[in-house]
Structure 1
């Protein structure tokens, strides 16, 4: 990834600090990115993800939509010209994304240089409570630009430059009503279909490997959980079996190259303190009932000051950044047939497009 691109990467994955690993919550998300003047990077990229697993990928260089999971490919075998139709849709929408960057540059009084227009939208469903939710967000150059408030069915413009678009979209009450219906019903229906198609992968549970790591005797002690699936996890420290938050730093949940996840939590404590007081790392993973507990003792710590006992932390950070960098776009769907949706224009260009940009099965 070009160094200029990194400044605009919008990290959208993370986890809160509440107890219990959240997420019997499943998600279906679409990410679109339009860019200008980034060497060796496509001007337009689109992808979809189910429960954090990439399912479809398209970019303007290859001009071809491809499945990223075997189960996604098999699920579409019975649909004639499925991938050709999806490809045609993405190709048809590329001009709109390019036009939106040009309009945004005018509104922000910008000339040339690197610019990124982003769109991400999707829905989520909790398979225990039945609760659903949805979102639609636009970003420009790494900052919020426009968002849909599903409760009021109106648009939020964090930037003055987006107000003109807000008024335009607010006036289309039929479109906004449709979008609320899409996020709370249609999108959920497709999410459930995808979960069924990929259940052997998406609904599996993999127990993590947990290690206590330390660079030097005076460094923080890291509790590192890796290789777990799904991504819903809590990694936290306890002192004398009570939750301990002082001098604790929580890392992001990151994806490994094999599709599993990793997460670390760091505890700053002196050897004198943890040798006389019991500290333990607790890992809770969605789908695994029992907590995974590792007591902080000298024998449990793996270090790099003792080379024979060193275990490096290796993650799929680069792969994750590539996925997250592809966060954007400009496509929302109107139902056209049982096989897909037609994008409803939400761009400033008023251009019409009858192609399908992320056809659902």
Structure 2
């Protein structure tokens, strides 16, 4: 019997990008359990729901989306200032640059709470909040001045209260709104393939929900931990997820040994096992086409989510936006 603990998460990601590229200068994305729930960007200039159940907010608060749009518009200007500030600090005068803010909360088994908040610049960690010490951790020397400024203004305690209380309250509300959707179980479709006979073997699971999944390998019936690489879980456009694990061994080892991909998911009655000997070997042309399709899909996913997730390696009537932090300018500018 497979056991998966019950956990839920609420996450927000804000991204500001220098102008001049084919991407909105500012985007915000909200996610529950890894699935997108709302979206705003500087082109459409309004916050919109991205799931049907998110529209239930209207019944309780008819002005919700108008208010969120106004908050995001104000935040957009503050983030534009932040990009300029950090470009000056890093002695940059041109090029493409990004500022990102990611924060959220998690609730495990209805009891354990966890919050987090971090900023990134140009795909690298910049500064993050330590909720235990209520201090900011500078990831580089350039962030020290930001750390000193924010600690003088004592914003950490306000963020801690939000992340461990208000954020959790909203998460529980959203889970209730979306219960029929979030608690559904959809089993994965699994495929084993190689680009050619000398390429790594890919075990690809897709179309599953919820997000939690385990993909492992066995060699001659024994668990295998070497020569394998587990990739990040990615969202599909229909609200399900996909994940892949890559086995890199020589063609000789593949012939001499019995390799198996093992997939475990709450939507499966029992674990799924696929023998590598039954894998599909793609022809060169098909492999190239597949690579192009995968690359395009990844770009589509980024466009749908509306944010460059390049750096993530991690008022009481509305979801907190930067204007709710209590800072003088409406945003914790660097």
Q: Normalising TM by the smaller chain, what interval?
A: 0.7 to 0.9
Hey, what does 1:39 align to over in structure 2? 21
Give the one of 53, 60, 68 matched to 2:42: 60
Alignment match of 1:226 (pick from 206, 219, 226)? 206
Match of 2:302 in 1: 321
1:246 aligns with 2:230: no
Q: Which residue of 1 aligns with 2:265?
A: 285
Gaps of 5+ in 2: none
Which of 192, 206, 226 does residue 172 from structure 2 map onto? 192
| Structure with larger RCO (C-alpha < 8 A, sep 6+) | 1
Question: Which 5+ residue runs of structure 1 have no aligned equivalent?
Answer: 1-19, 329-335, 354-361
Are 1:150 and 2:131 counterparts? yes
Residue 269 of structure 1, CA deviation: 4.2
Pick the structure with more helix per residue: 2
Match of 2:57 in 1: 75
CA apart distance, 1:144 = 1.3
Deviates more, 1:249-258 or 1:137-146: 249-258
The equivalent residue for 1:351 is 329
Q: Name which of 156, 160, 182 aligns with 2:141.
A: 160
Taking structure 1 as the reference length, the TM-score comes to 0.79
Q: Does 1:258 align with 2:238?
A: yes
- In structure 2, distance between residues paired with 1:337 and 1:304: 54
1:34 is paired with a residue whose SS is strand
| Alignment partners' CA distance in 2, 1:21 and 1:274 | 32
**Matched-pair contact (CA < 8 Å) for 1:255–1:317:** no
How many Å apart are 1:289 and its aligned residue? 5.5
Contact 2:202 2:247 in 1 (8 A): yes
CA distance in 1, matches of 2:211, 2:260: 22
* Shift in Å, 1:28: 0.5
Give, in angstroms, the shift of residue 109 of structure 1. Answer: 1.8
Offset, 1:126? 1.2
Alpha carbons 1:28, 1:51 under 8 Å: kept? yes
Contact kept, 8 Å, 2:27 with 2:307, in 1: the verdict is no
Q: CA deviation at 1:172?
A: 3.0
Report the CA distance between 1:302 and its aligned residue. Answer: 1.8
Provide the C-alpha distance between the structure 1 equivalents of 2:319 and 2:204, rounded to a whole number of angstroms: 42
What is the alpha-carbon distance in structure 1 between the residues aligned to residue 182 and residue 33 of structure 2?
A: 7
Contact 1:31–1:326 (Cα < 8 Å) also in 2? no
Residues 4-62 of structure 1: per-residue CA shift (max 9 Å, x gap):
xxxxxxxxxxxxxxxx8976332101111112123232221111111111111111111
Gap change, CA 1:337 and 1:190, over 3 Å in 2? closer
What's 1:121 paired with? 103
* Dislocated runs of 4+, deviation >6 Å: 20-23
**Structure-2 separation of matches of 1:90 and 1:306:** 47
Instruction: Point out the more displaced range, 74-83 or 184-193.
Output: 74-83
Question: 1:252-291: per-residue Cα shift (whole Å, max 9, x none)?
Answer: 3222232222222222345665555432210012454621
Would the aligned equivalents of 1:32 and 1:326 in 2 still touch at CA under 8 Å?
Answer: no
Q: Do the aligned partners of residues 163 and 260 (structure 1) sit closer, same or farther apart at CA in structure 2, a change above 3 Å counting?
A: same
Q: SS of 2:324's equivalent?
A: strand
Asked whether 1:214 is paired with 2:194, we answer: yes
Following superposition, the deviation at residue 312 of structure 1 comes to 5.6
- Evaluate the alpha carbon distance shift between residue 239 and residue 324 of structure 1 in structure 2; reply closer, same or farther with a 3 A threshold: farther
Note the 1:19-30 alignment, pairs <5 A: 24-30=6-12
Computed over aligned residues only, the root mean square deviation of the Cα atoms, in angstroms, reads 2.8
1:181 aligns with 2:165: no
User: Which residue matches 1:357?
Assistant: none
For residues 272 and 307 of structure 1, what CA distance do their matches in structure 2 show? 24
The aligned residue for residue 301 of structure 1 is 279
SS of the residue corresponding to residue 227 of structure 1 reads: strand
- Cα distance in 1, alignment partners of residues 318 and 253 from structure 2: 62
* Separation in 2, partners of 1:71, 1:77: 11
Aligned length: 318
